């Protein structure tokens, strides 16, 4: 028994002007063949695949195909898509005969002229391996699930959590689903309901027992506990995609009962539609949020900056929040991050303790931000390489390149050469800082940062500022999305499932 394992992971934000290129994948962690199995055995969905398969009594041969990861950013170029497709085709042909495929995908990748990258890649894989070979894929909860994706895979297994703290476990679930198909002989029947709604990410917190998202998580997990259900998932979609087949989705796969699949998919979709307004978050104007953080004298205040969230594909060099922080004195310090390779290079040419006068920010995101001049003390330069655990990662290697720690008054700016998890405590630790002792910390993330900071912050506020990943995205110019679509439009809707075999 030979089982192929592959990964394609990139989340696109079509408002980000920076294109995603082949170099972004190569610098993040491209792996081919046996190296994938060796290096990903404990990491994220591939690790869940590998560890589960190694426990099978049949002892299948694990065939590493290719791992293609890039950090969330702008639309991929045509050349990048062609290269990705070539890599996957070559890996499949080189692997030889396979008995099944496990594929870890994000589900919201867009390339120039190709709004459904994962749908095309799954269709390509299906064409190569044939109609009968079992193919199971995992998806992020923020995937834009399309009919083409559903048709190409025997089953799609989605994260159940946001913050995403079940990525490894989703890989385990994917392997369990594959076993039911490959070993037990289950013939999956898939039902999808495409919901004409796109909900904000800020309140999609499945770990908050008071949120409606946690109710949906429990409903889905209860369905998956049934013997006649293979998998059940809700994709609330990455909101910053201007593409045609756009919207949330519920997907229920059963052991052959199409009526059950449709009924449960429609039931969950109806619940989501009924509670769609519960996802609307309270966003605090920037000046008010920073002032409130300043007035909170005891404990850590975390300000989420969703509009510049690098986890949502924003460029990570907005200057709006930084400018406001610099108006105050912070006795225990303020922490903020910035992607600015040219500033890192300039700081690297100076000894520690030297003053650097430089423009910072507003060079990657020229649409919503502009550079500001700062006179900063270069405290140190360092390599921002660490292992991410928690939201988005389990034993996930991160390398954001050479970085610098700058101080302007009481505000410390962690400046990196590359984008990455600009919320992670591990990033601040790499800079030699304890993020939990500060007056205020800026997390460039809409929701996921809560996994790290909610237990220890005295207050968390979401900031309203311009950027590529705004909370009020429906006020931005979308040209390709289907209409009607909530919250752009108000209308009545009744769920209707489609069976895709």
Q: Which of 235, 261, 279 is the last residue of a domain?
A: 279
Same-domain status, 303 and 380: yes
- Does residue 353 lie in a domain region? yes
The strand ranges marked E within 10-42 are 31-32
292 shares its domain with 257: no
Distances (CA, A) of 85 to 91, 137, 193, 334: 10, 16, 28, 44
Q: Please name every residue paired with 67 in a beta bridge, in sequence order, or none if there are none.
A: 7, 31
251 and 320 share a domain? no
Query: Are the CB atoms for 20 and 74 separated by under 8 Å?
Result: yes
Q: Do 238 and 385 fall within a single domain?
A: no
Give first-to-last CA distance, the chain, whole Å: 25
What is the C-alpha separation between 496 and 263, in angstroms, rounded? 9
Same domain assignment for residues 262 and 319 = no
Tokens of 485: 């679509």
46 and 190 together in one domain: yes
Assigned domain for 490 exists:
no
Residue range(s) defining the domain that contains residue 74: 2-279
Of the residues 252, 279, 306, which one is the last residue of a structural domain? 279
Q: Do 271 and 326 belong to one domain?
A: no
Q: Total domain count for the chain?
A: 2
Judge if 272 and 356 occupy the same domain.
Answer: no
Q: 85 and 231 share a domain?
A: yes
How much is the pTM? 0.97
| Exposed e or buried b per residue across 390-404, where buried means at least 16 C-beta atoms within 10 angstroms of its C-beta | bbbbbebebbbbbbb
Spatial separation of the C-alpha atoms in residues 404 and 457, rounded to whole Å: 25
Query: Rounded to whole angstroms, how far apart are CA atoms 141 and 129?
Result: 27
- Rg of the Cα atoms in the chain: 22
* Phi, psi values for residue 260, rounded to 5°: -65, -45
pLDDT of residue 203: 86
Helices (H), 252-401: 258-274, 286-295, 320-325, 341-348
For the beta sheet containing 440-443, the strands, ordered from the edge strand earlier in sequence to the opposite edge, are 284-285, 457-464, 300-304, 440-443, 334-339, 411-416, 393-408, 372-390, 355-360
Q: Cα–Cα distance between 406 and 381 in angstroms, integer?
A: 9
d(CA 180, CA 486): 37
Please identify which residue in the block is written with the tokens 């998890």.
Answer: 421
Are both 377 and 405 inside the same structural domain?
yes
Output the pLDDT for position 105: 98
Q: What is the pLDDT along the chain (501 residues), one digit of tens a residue?
A: 999 999 999 999 999 999 999 999 999 999 999 999 999 999 999 999 999 999 999 999 999 999 999 999 999 999 999 999 999 999 999 999 999 999 999 999 999 999 999 999 999 999 999 999 999 999 999 999 999 999 999 999 999 999 999 999 999 999 999 999 999 999 999 999 999 999 999 988 899 888 999 999 999 999 999 999 999 999 999 999 999 999 999 999 999 999 999 999 999 999 999 999 999 989 999 999 999 999 999 999 999 999 999 999 999 999 999 999 999 999 999 999 999 999 999 999 999 999 999 999 999 999 999 999 999 999 999 999 999 999 999 999 999 999 999 999 999 999 999 999 999 999 999 999 999 999 999 999 999 999 999 999 999 999 999 999 999 999 999 999 999 999 999 999 999 999 998
Q: What pLDDT sits at residue 204?
A: 87
Q: How far apart are CA 342 and CA 196, in angstroms?
A: 42
Same structural domain for residues 295 and 272?
Answer: no
Domain-embedded: residue 499: no
Task: Give the angle subtended at the CA of 396 by the CAs of 394 and 402, to the nearest 5°.
Answer: 145
* Any domain includes 453: yes
377/250 same-domain check: no
**CA dihedral (98, 99, 104, 105) positive or negative:** positive
Burial label, 59 (beta-carbon count in 10 A; 0-12, 13-18, 19+):
exposed
């Amino acid at each position: 028994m030979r089982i192929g394992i592959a990964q394609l992971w990139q989340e696109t934000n079509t408002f980000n002007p920076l294109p995603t290129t082949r170099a972004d994948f190569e610098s993040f962690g491209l792996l081919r063949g046996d190296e994938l199995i060796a290096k990903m055995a404990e990491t994220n969905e591939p690790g869940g695949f590998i560890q589960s398969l190694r426990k099978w009594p049949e002892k299948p041969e694990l065939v590493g195909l290719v791992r293609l990861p890039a950090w969330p950013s702008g639309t991929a170029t045509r050349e990048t898509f062609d290269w990705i497709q070539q890599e996957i085709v070559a890996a499949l042909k080189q692997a030889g005969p396979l008995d099944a495929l496990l594929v870890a995908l994000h589900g919201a990748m867009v390339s120039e002229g190709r709004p459904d990258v994962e749908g095309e890649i799954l269709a390509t894989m299906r064409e190569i391996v044939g109609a009968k070979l079992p193919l199971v894929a995992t998806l992020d909860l923020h995937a834009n699930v399309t009919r083409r994706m559903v048709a190409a895979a025997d089953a799609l297994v989605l994260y159940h959590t946001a913050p995403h703290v079940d990525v490894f476990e989703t890989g385990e679930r994917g392997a369990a689903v594959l076993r039911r198909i490959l070993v037990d002989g289950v013939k999956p029947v898939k039902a999808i309901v495409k919901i004409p709604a796109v909900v904000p990410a800020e309140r999609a917190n499945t770990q908050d027992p008071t949120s409606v998202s946690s109710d949906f998580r429990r409903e889905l997990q209860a369905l998956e506990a049934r013997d006649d259900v293979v998998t059940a998932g809700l994709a609330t979609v990455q909101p910053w995609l201007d593409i045609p087949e756009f919207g949330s989705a519920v997907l229920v796969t059963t052991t052959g009962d199409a009526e059950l699949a449709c009924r449960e998919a429609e039931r969950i979709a109806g619940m989501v539609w009924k509670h769609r307004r519960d996802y609307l978050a309270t966003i605090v104007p920037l000046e008010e949020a920073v002032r409130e953080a300043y007035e909170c004298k005891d404990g850590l205040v975390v300000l989420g900056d969703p509009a510049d969230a690098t986890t949502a594909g924003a460029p990570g060099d907005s200057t709006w929040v930084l400018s406001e922080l610099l108006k105050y004195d912070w006795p225990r310090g303020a922490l903020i991050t910035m992607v600015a390779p040219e500033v890192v290079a300039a700081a690297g040419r100076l000894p520690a303790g030297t003053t650097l006068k430089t423009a910072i920010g507003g060079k990657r995101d020229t649409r919503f931000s502009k550079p500001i001049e700062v006179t900063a003390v270069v405290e140190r330069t360092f390599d921002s390489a660490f292992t991410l655990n928690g939201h988005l990662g389990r034993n996930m290697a991160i390398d954001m390149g050479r970085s610098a720690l700058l101080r302007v008054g009481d505000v410390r700016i962690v400046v990196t050469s590359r984008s990455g998890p600009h919320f992670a405590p591990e990033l601040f630790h790499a800079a030699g800082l304890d993020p939990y002792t500060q007056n205020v910390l800026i997390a460039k993330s809409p929701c996921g940062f809560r996994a790290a900071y909610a237990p220890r912050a005295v207050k968390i506020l979401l900031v309203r500022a311009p950027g590529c990943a705004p909370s009020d995205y429906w006020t931005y110019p979308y040209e390709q999305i289907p209409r009607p679509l909530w919250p752009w439009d108000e209308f009545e809707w009744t769920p209707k499932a489609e069976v895709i075999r």
